[in-house]
């Protein structure tokens, strides 16, 4: 039977626009402009459901009036079929990186958009979202159209909305994790010592798409032996082998929301030192989830994590803190770090990401959770145990 497709309803997008406009007015801005590309798509898709490919995209939310989607010259028909924002402008600033000039295509400019949006008045305060990836061509276009404008870093206007998930967002995330866990089980059944890391990636992706994923939540991690020490890495042509620790991270994306399920795996029986590190990571992983609930300060969880790691003799094996935000991106704000002084709130979502490593191997236990008043609700927990194939 065909699965029911879950998606964010139009009413929720309208509510997002209204809340962003409230933030724009509260901060004394004339407009907020968000930017996204194919890799970091979240802010534009959060506001429009549009996910650019090859080209990039932006969204303008003015203090008053309707939002506008900004796209590259080639994407008009795709954008009109997928965007919840109906006011769409084609702009050279959002073209692909090969910089085609498109002499036969009529494009808009920020000057013409501002003239239409503000009745000829130039904006004086422009909020920038997606600050970390905001590109120079878009900035230069804005500066040319509004040379006297003040540019204000304003990521929090969107980020603060994205942190707390709605019931529909949680339903989508649960589906994404369900697909990831199913792919994990299917992959473990087919892994062989003679396979390369990339061959296993092929198995994972077959499983993800056959189960209903719209895309991968992140590049799949299959990192064997010494490669498993990479906290961030790409699989290659190394063979899995026997008695190697394999860092397996499997993630599906559904309706724009990403998941990841991480498990350390060994084909054969783990040597003593390997099993010791894997078990310590698992113990720290479970403890982290025990410490989390609404009303707890994030840095208290971090403090307990590092203290418990020290108790287990693992201080030298820890690279970073225990959790990061989860939503449209598999890694997003907020992180949990030693200086994180915010309080956990109901329906925040996190990846509990326990990464330990030594010279020869590394491991990651990773599960998604929803913060609740009583603790956490797991988004994934299948096969959270020592895995020896």
Mean pLDDT for the chain?
A: 97
User: Where exactly are the structural domains of the chain?
Assistant: 10-162, 164-388
27: pLDDT strictly greater than 60:
yes
* β-pair partners for 32: 61, 127
Please give the Cα distance from 332 to 326 (Å, whole number).
Answer: 6
The full DSSP string for 251-292 is -EEETTEE--EEEEEESSPPPHHHHHHHHHHHHHHHHHHHH-
The per-residue pLDDT for range 182-200, each reduced to its tens digit, is: 999 999 999 999 999 999 9
Q: What is the pLDDT of residue 366?
A: 98
E strands, the chain, are 31-36, 57-62, 68-71, 88-90, 125-128, 150-153, 215-216, 221-224, 245-250, 252-254, 257-258, 261-266, 323-325, 332-336, 349-357, 362-372, 375-378, 387-388
Mean pLDDT of 334-359: 97
Mean pLDDT of 199-205: 98
1: pLDDT strictly greater than 80:
no
CATH 3.40.350.10 fits 10-162, yes or no: yes
| CA-to-CA separations, 25 to 32, 43, 73, 147, 286, in angstroms, rounded | 10, 19, 31, 21, 43
CA 159 to chain centre: 12
250: pLDDT strictly greater than 90:
yes
| CA-to-CA separations, 194 to 58, 233, 247, 264, in angstroms, rounded | 45, 21, 16, 18
Mean pLDDT of 233-262: 98
Please give the Cα distance from 158 to 182 (Å, whole number).
Answer: 32
Check if the beta carbon of residue 21 is closer than 8 Å to that of residue 61.
yes
Mean pLDDT of 275-283: 98
Q: Domain 164-388 carries which CATH code? A: 3.90.230.10
2: pLDDT strictly greater than 60:
no
Q: What is the pLDDT of residue 87?
A: 98
- Band (pLDDT 50/70/90 cuts) for residue 120 is confident
344: pLDDT strictly greater than 50:
yes
The per-residue pLDDT for range 127-144, each reduced to its tens digit, is: 999 999 999 999 999 999
Token pair, residue 339, equals 């200086």
361: pLDDT strictly greater than 60:
yes
Distance from the first to the final alpha carbon of the chain: 32
């Amino acid at each position: 039977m065909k699965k029911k497709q879950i998606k964010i309803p139009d009413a929720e997008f309208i509510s997002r626009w209204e809340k962003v406009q409230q933030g724009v007015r509260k901060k004394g801005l004339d407009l907020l402009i968000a930017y996204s590309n194919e890799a970091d798509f979240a802010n534009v898709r959060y506001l429009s459901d549009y996910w650019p490919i090859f080209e990039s995209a932006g969204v303008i939310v003015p203090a008053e009036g309707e939002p506008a989607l900004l796209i590259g010259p080639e994407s008009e028909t795709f954008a009109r079929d997928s965007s919840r924002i109906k006011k769409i402008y084609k702009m050279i600033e959002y073209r692909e990186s090969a910089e085609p000039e498109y002499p036969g295509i009529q494009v808009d400019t920020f000057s013409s958009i501002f003239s239409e949006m503000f009745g000829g008045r130039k904006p004086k305060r422009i909020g920038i979202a997606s600050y970390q990836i905001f590109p120079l061509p878009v900035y230069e276009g804005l500066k040319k159209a509004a040379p006297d404008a003040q540019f204000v870093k304003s990521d929090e206007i969107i980020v603060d909305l994205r942190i707390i998930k709605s019931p529909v967002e949680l339903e989508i995330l649960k589906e994404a994790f369900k697909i990831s866990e199913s792919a994990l089980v299917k992959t473990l059944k087919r892994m062989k010592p003679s396979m390369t890391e990339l061959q296993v990636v092929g198995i994972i992706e077959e499983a993800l798409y056959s189960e209903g994923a719209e895309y991968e939540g992140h590049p799949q991690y299959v990192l064997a032996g010494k490669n498993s020490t990479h906290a961030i890495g790409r699989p290659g042509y190394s063979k899995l082998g026997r008695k190697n620790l394999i860092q397996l991270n499997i993630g599906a994306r559904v309706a724009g929301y990403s998941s990841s399920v991480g498990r350390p795996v060994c084909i054969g029986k783990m040597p003593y030192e390997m099993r010791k590190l894997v078990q310590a990571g698992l113990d720290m992983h479970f403890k982290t989830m025990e410490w989390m609930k609404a009303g707890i300060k994030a840095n208290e969880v971090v403090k307990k994590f590092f203290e418990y790691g020290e108790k287990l003799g693992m201080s030298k094996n820890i690279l970073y803190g225990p959790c990061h935000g989860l939503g449209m991106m598999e890694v997003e704000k907020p992180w949990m770090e030693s200086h994180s002084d915010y309080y956990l709130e109901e329906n925040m979502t996190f990846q509990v990401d326990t990464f330990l490593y030594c010279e020869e191997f590394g491991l990651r236990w990773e599960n998604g959770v929803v913060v609740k008043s009583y603790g956490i609700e797991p988004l994934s927990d299948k096969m959270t145990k020592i895995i020896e194939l």
